[in-house]
Structure 1
Amino acid sequence: MRHRDTVRTIVVLGLLGFTVLQGCECPGGGFGQARPEPAVTPETLDFGDVEVGSAKVLSFEVANGGTGRLEIVDTRVEGAPEGVFQLSDKKYTVTSGGRKTVEVTFTPFDEADYTATIFLETNSEETPTKEVHIVGRGFVPDVVVEPTQLDFGNVVVETVRTLSVQVSNNGSDRALVRIRPLTGSDVSQYRIVLPSQVENEQVLLEGGDAITIEVSYQPTVTGRHLAAFTVEPCDACQPINISLTGVGIESALVVEPPTLEFGAVNPGAEVTQSVHFRNVGNVQVQVTSLELSGIGPGQPPSPAFSIEDLPTPIVLDEGDEVEVPVHFAPQDLKSHLSNLLWRSNDSRNSEGTVTLVGQGGGPDVEVLPPELDFGPVAMGAPQERTVVVTNVGFDTLQISGYEIRGSGDFQLVDDPGAGQLAVGEIVQLTVRFDPTAEGDATAELVVHSNDTDEPEAVSLLRGTGLDLPPCTYEVAPPTLNFGAVERNKKRTLEFGITNANVSGECLVSVLSLTDDTDPEFTLPGGEVNGQLIAPGETFRVAIEFQPTRYGSFSGAVEFYISDPASPTRLVPLSG
């Protein structure tokens, strides 16, 4: 019996030993050696497009298809900057038949393509290294915000103006956009209305998508109000600031000026000025009535004032302006005072007055002749004429200056500059026409003064330039002496202007009696202007002398001729 038990024990121990040897995960060769076999799935991780600054996680699985424990003794990433790809585990053990999931986080630093390789160092003799290839692209969303400044302008207190901002994803990749709350000292005056797609201050915009943000401004007090909010296209993107500005105003209607000062206006003349009605707010206003009134209660307006018969109501939309002309035409030398009374539908500015002030009298400028025609004038032989400025008004005329506008062929000789003219006083201006080219030339002589109805008095200047050779001429006789002539009798004498040129005409531009010639002398043929004399020809000028009283009389005939050396000539007269 004891021998049988001993044999049984030996057999059991042998079987146990065989089982233990068969399942041993021991290094080295021989019977019972462990053979781990690593496998990874997938062998390539493609992260696709990931927003710069954000992170995306993918995973791969490490399986042990062999016998014995699989040891991952080290894991490294090569081919990308440190930190772009990060692993959840670098060292771990996988039992035979087991699996291990490893997470890989991709955080792109820049807008670029990234490629790398994960190397897994194992304890497997057959497969000491396994590789996982990883690719991904970092991108910056192409998000555009327009506009970045919202100017609400003038907004009447307790009314609302709404403007909008559009946020567009112009790229092909989706973008997670964040809209931050209002900031600034006047946030209570503004309100942002976000579209329904926005949740928790953020919205995911696919490529090509856009949203509209409504911003309302409702001032509760007058004055300038500032605020702002930001749009963040991505975590790593520079925030886009949208500034808000608006001005709260008490009333949309502005009437200017408060007083129309017409100054002194000559009786019989008329001066017109305007009252400006402007809508500077965000709501429509209407001017419902306009009328003239006296200064005191029940007083009629001065008849010297009148206004245009404009149809009412005058509708003014935002930014509109209308001018209401007011005329002042006094018939006497008195002071005149009235009001322009206006009414509107603006509850905050429903009515008001503009004071109208004027005085009959003042200076009155007269410029003669109103049109000065030099006629044809030879180049190189300038002609001078006189313009007379007179104060025909009731007060001192303040002249601030003289000006010639237009062709540079006209010049003011010896400009007297600014000055004063007493009532009835005159100033004589010499205007020269010196043509530099053939053809017509025009200009204006402008007198600037304090004449309220004619602050710029004008004399029109005209002339025609001719290109002629220098004129050589003779005057015979050089003087005319009529001798003794009975009263009321008439005597006529002549002088001749002869063109001594071999070729080329002579031009007599202006031929007239001088201003100081006694009235007993006359030109029976009238003044001459633009007379051409052919070579060798003589142009004859007749002068009549008819005295009506006893005494000696004198004068002269003055003419301009195309002689650059001596363009002006006098023929003295006596009798």
Structure 2
Amino acid sequence: MRKKINMYASAILFVLVSITSCDKDEEIIPAEFSITDIEKDFGAVEVEQTINYSFKVTNEGGSDLEIDEFVLKGTNAADFSTSAVPKVIKKEESYTFEITFAPLTEGEKKAILEITTNIGKKEVKVTGIAKPKPLPGVDLSETALVFGNVEINQTKDATFTITNSGDADLEITGFEIKGTNAANFSTSATTETLAAGETKTITVVFEPTNVGEKTASLEVTTNAGVKAIALSGKATATPMSVIEFSESPISFGNVEVGEDLSKNIIVSNTGNTDLEITNVNIIGGSSSSSFTVIGGTSSLIRTIAPGDTYTFEVKFTPSSQGFASASIRFFNNSSENEVFLPMNGTGTAPAQPAIAFSETGLNFGDVTVGNSGNDLTFAIQNNGQGNLEVSNIRMSGANANNFTLVNVSAPQTIAPNSFYEVTARFTPQSEGQKQAMIVVESNDPTKPSYAIIISGKGLQAATGNIVNIPDANFKSALVGNSSINTNGDGEIQVSEAQAYTGVIRVDGLSISDVTGLEVFENISQFHAMNNSLTSIDLSQNTAITHLSLKNNNLTSLDLSANTALQTILIQQNSISTIDLTNHSSLVNFQCGGNNISTLVLPTIANGLRTLYLEQNQISTLDVSMYPDLRTLVAYNNNLSSMDISNNSRVISLHLRNNNLTSLNVANGNNVNFIYMIADGNDNLTCIQHDAGFDPLNPPNTQANQWVKPSGASWNTVACQ
């Protein structure tokens, strides 16, 4: 009604203006409608989505443009809407409004916006395409999970994937396992949102608690529907191993004490899973030590597959007469975690040996002092039923040093009704009746230590009696020494040998035997370097102070009687053991180039100054008790440590190529060192030296050498 009143008022006003204008002869310019678009294509829009477009109406005329109504018409008018409202637009002004495309269904959409104005109706055509709304999709990689056979109370995992095959987010809202055996299956999967194309792996666990076929269903609930996966598996009984033995108990019967009897025993696994033997020991009290497993009980720790076997050897060695028993205890994974295999046997009295001698005694008769009589022999006989085990054959008695055993060795095994011959030699050292015993130690239960008396008489050598010197080169050297051969004949008399107190020097004369030297009881020095000696007896040369045997073929050397020695030179031989325990007068000891592994130095030797021990097999060396030691050379040995901190006079130390891990040379005298060489000890990391001393810049640059392994450091405090 209001619109009509406005229209009437406008008409009246128009008439009045026209009359006035006519009177004034003026022209009235009407309103003019102009819009930015008369057609608009919104393009493709998803269903239930919106898109806006702005339109602008401009009044390009000279009068007001009155817009009375905006109406959407057409088949798809409901898919469009507008924000436009009636409006009066002054000349040269504009009005902007929007049209919204919001499709409700899929397909092509068309409509017309009809605009009613005071200068007529105008139309704007709008079009658009409504495309489908994006939706999520749910694809499962599996329709069923088959777990197969699983032991009860064990677990097995299976996986599947969920893929969002749609265009919108897939919302996974729940996982639920249903069915008769649902309790045997589980999953830790949680709710989740998957973007388009995204995949999620889900794990399902089968953990049966009792035997039988198990089924269930896993339902996956999403915003794209519910999907289900069938679950199945078979719960099987827990496999068991069964341990069995080819013989139980193991009966050894009667076995002589000291003998042994072995048996092979087969251990079998008759179960349906691996037999795990984790530990084995022998138990059974005091007699258990009579039974042993060959290779040790640890050799039985193993895995035996179902149906397989393992053979081992067990031995019965009775240590006393009587019944003995024990058990082998097997710790294993069978139903019986501890299985016992009993063993028994009886120790019986062994067949005993019976020692006897073929002679009641040996009498060498009269022999000149310093000479040897004829060798005498007797047999050690075994008149018993068991083996005679001879552990030692030795001389004993006050005059034992007048007798020697010739080519006799022990231990010896003498079978029943067999014998072993022993040869003895008499070399009297002084006149008078001499007696000793040859003692045989054996396993004869009644005579474990059995002796035969040996005797002889030493006759005083008359003036002119000749010393036996079998080596021609040795004899020639002695005969050619006028200080020894005082009568100038071609022999050495006993009296000449005993009277001589000087030096015997026979170096480099190809001498292989120095028999006869024992008569020179009073010599002060003996030098026999560069010869072919394989043995030497110095037991009668107790006055010697200097001994030189360098570069011979000696394999052993007994110096126990030569405690007056001050200098010992025995380099380049093949000696393995040297005992100098009581050599308190020792000053100079050199034994390089032997095979010495056992070296016993004097317990006290205040005057010891020089030790050359290179190229041996010495592994330990303590020199702390030698205050006057000046030179220590011990390269190419097996020493693991060396400490000379108590040897304040040492000025030369050579320890190259050992196995040193510890070295302390801080003896307060480093500034006077001639050399300190310790390279070739790859495990040595630190060397302790005197405080205030710089081993890199020693004071005597011409003479001093301080050499260490590249990996070792110098330190003035104790190395860690």
The alignment's TM-score, normalised by the length of structure 2, stands at: 0.27
Larger Rg: 2
Give the number of the structure whose residues are more often helix, by fraction.
Answer: 2
Question: 1 or 2, which has the higher strand percentage?
Answer: 1
- TM-score if structure 1 supplies the norm length? 0.33
